[in-house]
Chains A and B, each alone.
Chain A
Amino acid sequence: MTSKQRYEPVIGLEVHAQLLTDSKIFCGCRSAYGGVANAQTCPVCLGLPGALPVLNRRAVEYATRTILAVGGRVNPLSIFARKNYFYPDLPKGYQISQYDRPLGAGGTIAITEDGNGISIGLIRIHVEEDAGKSFHPENAGDEDTTLVDMNRCGVPLIEIVSRPDIRSPRQAGLYLTRLRQILEYLEVCSGNMEEGALRCDANVSVRPVGESAFGTRTEVKNMNSIRGVERALAFEIERQTRLLQSGGTVVQETLLWDEKAQTAHPMRSKEESSDYRYFPEPDLLPLRIAPEWIESVRASLPEMPEARARRLVQQYGITTYDASVLTDTRALAEYYEATVRHFADGKKAANWIMTEVLRVIKERGIGIGDFPVKPEALAELLGMVEAGTISGKMAKDIFERMVASGQRASEIVKSEGLEQLSDDGVLIAVIDAVIADNPGQLAKYKAGRAQLLGFFVGETMKRTQGRANPQRVNELLRERLGAPGG
């Protein structure tokens, strides 16, 4: 074996997405994030003796929506199973999940890397319940104290398992970004990784380039951002490659990513349980899904991002790039289309949103849903520029004030008298005063320095506080000054 042997990574991702149902998967408790610890619980999600699960139909609908949106197959008969293991935040001592008969199989996620389309296959999508959360408070006075919050117990999840089709950390990042976008479009998951609404575990192995067999893989857990996933994968690929290049062997194990230290370390063996002793959950009947129901869910699917981007290009004449930016989230696409409904120039609207609106959103770290200028208000502002009521430059100032105050453009313009001056009589009076006050510049202009026209335009704009219509000012000045050198 040569140490110069090159290796390529083989990556498969297991993503857990929390479904945005109001209630939990097997009881009526609220499934909202946060809340007073253990307040959103009942005998079912606490797994008290004698309590029984009852499946939440909405959770199945959301999972079905996801399966259909990625081109997967919904199994007409799926079975819930018990995954048995001991953990303090797992109140029943087992998790209700799906095992050999999941709800969904197959499907793909399409990503684009450097202009190349890549299709990542999916193995399965199944439905399961979340466990609770353990805390090890540092200031509890006793370092052995563990506190458990069961609010998450029974929150509905889907697990999306990819084929080992991913070949780089960057592709993994693109896959996650795409998946998050799809879930967001379907309105089935918030996609928020910090709140744990989207969690990712990765199976990683490396193999000599050209080899088709897989190497020994490790599982990497505990990554809580897309950047974190990319970093953790890069770390693990590097580690495995070096190990093999130095003649070592990779041990199959589970590693936890430590974002602060930027390293991954093996999970303590006691936290790992290899034998879950799955068996069919006897408290729930097999889940039978009628084909008509699947079709009704399919009919309710929203337009997905790629299709929407194609349509925007056609309908509004914007570029493919613009369309991909504007369809990044469903909410942004809705915002754009709502704006265009009130302001017909799709290209101008696209430019404004991509520059001004997205800049403010980024600065403020908010979502488009929380952006204070609603689409109709933005359309009104753009319409005022189009009509010549205000200048484009002024529009930017007014926009900032709309963002700050939430006022409409028309209100700001009216209350502050900012309408554009297009009345020739008024403009000529100002222009004549500017010419009269600058005899030196006039002389130089007359002598042939044509670029001094800009000076007179600037002075005129200054004296009208920017309200003058610059195009008309240009025209009038040419008339008054005559030809340079003439």
Chain B
Amino acid sequence: MIGPPTHWSVAQTVDRIRRGVVSALEVTEAHLARIESRQHLNAFISTTPDEARTTAASIDAARAGGESLGPLAGVPIAIKDNILVSGVPCTCGSRILRGWMPPYEATVTERLRRAGAVIVGKANCDEFAMGSSTENSAYGPSRNPHDPTRIPGGSSGGSAVAVADFQSMAALGSDTGGSVRQPAGHCGIVGLKPTYGAVSRWGLVAFASSLDQIGVFGRTVADTKSVFDVIRGHDPHDSTSMLLPPERPIPERLTVGMPRECFGDGLDADVRTAVKGAADALRQAGHSIVEVSLPHSQYTIAAYYIICTAEASSNLARYDGVKYGHRTDTVDDLFSMYRRTRAEGFGAEVKRRILLGTYVLSAGYYEAYYGTAQKVRARIAGDFARAFETVDCLLTPTSPTVAFRLGEKVDDPLAMYLSDIYTTSINLAGLPGVSVPCGTSSAGLPIGAQIIGRPFEEHIILATAEVIERTTSLVGKQGA
């Protein structure tokens, strides 16, 4: 008995489709049915059943014609709704882009399609990826499959829910300050944020360009890696995307650092226990655990919010009602059109960040805020570089707590910002990070451990995560 296709791994699925055990269309139908029956979790802003069936049928036809199939042939995938799929509306979770139809395709989705992946829909997200709970979506919040009264994490919450709840086999999200790793942790799945420049941002709607990176959700490390392998690599459309350097062999005995600053006050006891358990698992597998220090950690959140809001205020200027998206009905003159369009189109969190970003960049404040934040950013990157002189990777909690309840922090933005305390510094430093399940809380909620690596050493952090996964995997334990 091999169970329903929704619960298979990527490798199993591709293998079974190749061997003709199952058709790609059957796999797709199983997922579409699951999506249909699980709408209360609000994982998707839009679904693409027709295109999914067409793609699946073409894979089946290719197989019947004796053609070789791609590495993700027939694998149903959800795409965060801030990544463009040509001909499918892209909202970024915002009213201002409701119904906007992109005339071109993201590099990552093009690569997924070429590998045979089946796109089943656009996943829900915080508006323009700003948030830590997916409550800032103009299309309603997503819900955590482990406890629907709780948030799934943000901002790629819809993608995490789709994967954790078996509505898609894998998903793409975007991670600007933890938006893939944090919801992965809260939903009990794997979430990889690659090195800045390892994956093309062409077709990713920008929030904060110097921090944004497209990431992957999978239920296992292996699933996650198989999707990452397809989307990674240099893209001439993105000047910041890099040629991947040759891979350093994975050391047989890893030295894993635990930054002491990540285990201080504010860390939930259950989370502390679970992450220490992950360290034990690594130790038992023969790897060594050492304590390291990241002395500038305390400045991370401040530097992060200055840089990301500055860039966001500029990136979001294009939504002005002139060319596409929402335009106000009541127009007196040009500037009132801008004002009303943006007042009506953007939600509270986006407005808050645009205002903050505009302020920190304005004449007379630039050096005090943005200039200082860039200096802090360099110090933070320096902390990591020093740590990596002695360790292969770092182990931290993904989040200080388990998933909180819907509405619990909506009125307290600063408390909300602190939920990304362990993830944001990785974006500031441009490093790869992965969240892997490492246990559950006393209430049965998932806890994630984060492994951080040197630039372009995703293979090493994934291998490390796999060790933890072997002892603490939650796969199959989610609500049915």
Contact = CB atoms under 8 A, between A and B. Distances in A.
Interface of A: 43, 46-55, 82, 84, 86, 88, 91-94, 146, 148, 270, 274-275, 277-279, 282-285
6 contacts: A50-B104, A51-B202, A53-B239, A54-B239, A94-B314, A277-B363
A49 B102 contact: yes
Nearest to B97: A49
Nearest to B200: A52
Contact of A282 (B84, B209, B237, B358): B209
Interface SS of chain A? loop
B203 interface: yes
A148 B313 CA distance: 24
Nearest to B342: A86
A356 to B, nearest CB: 53
Contacts of A47: 318
Contact of A279 (B237, B240, B310, B334): B310
Contacts of B205: 49-50
Interface in B319-338: 320, 322-324, 334-335, 338
Given A52-B201, A283-B240, A46 B323 contact: yes
A283 B317 CA distance: 15
B84 A49 contact: yes
Q: Which of A47, A54, A88, A93 has the most CB of B within 10 A?
A: A93
B106 interface: yes
B391 interface: no
B362 interface: yes
Given A277-B362, A279-B370, A285-B240, 16 more contacts: A43-B103, A49-B318, A50-B205, A52-B237, A52-B239, A86-B317, A93-B318, A94-B314, A277-B313, A277-B314, A277-B361, A278-B366, A279-B310, A282-B209, A282-B210, A282-B311
Interface in B173-216: 201-206, 208-210
Category for how many chain B residues contact A: 35 or more
A285 B210 CA distance: 10
Contacts of B229: none
A282 B307 CA distance: 11
Contacts of A52: 201-202, 237-240
A219 B17 CA distance: 70
A470 B350 CA distance: 91
A264 B164 CA distance: 66
Contacts of B246: none
Nearest to B205: A49
A37 B314 CA distance: 27
B313 to A, nearest CB: 8
B151 interface: no
Interface in B339-370: 358, 361-363, 366, 370
Contacts of B208: 282
A270 B335 contact: yes
B366 A43 contact: no
A95 B338 CA distance: 18
Contact of B92 (A48, A49, A53, A146): A49
Given A47-B318, A91-B323, A94-B314, A54 B236 contact: yes
A271 to B, nearest CB: 10
B90 interface: yes
B343 to A, nearest CB: 14
A279 B318 contact: no
Contacts of A146: 334
Contacts of A91: 318, 322-323
A74 B241 CA distance: 26
State the 10 A-B residue pairs at the shortest beta-carbon distance, nearest first: A93-B317, A282-B210, A282-B209, A277-B361, A49-B205, A50-B203, A275-B363, A93-B318, A50-B84, A88-B322
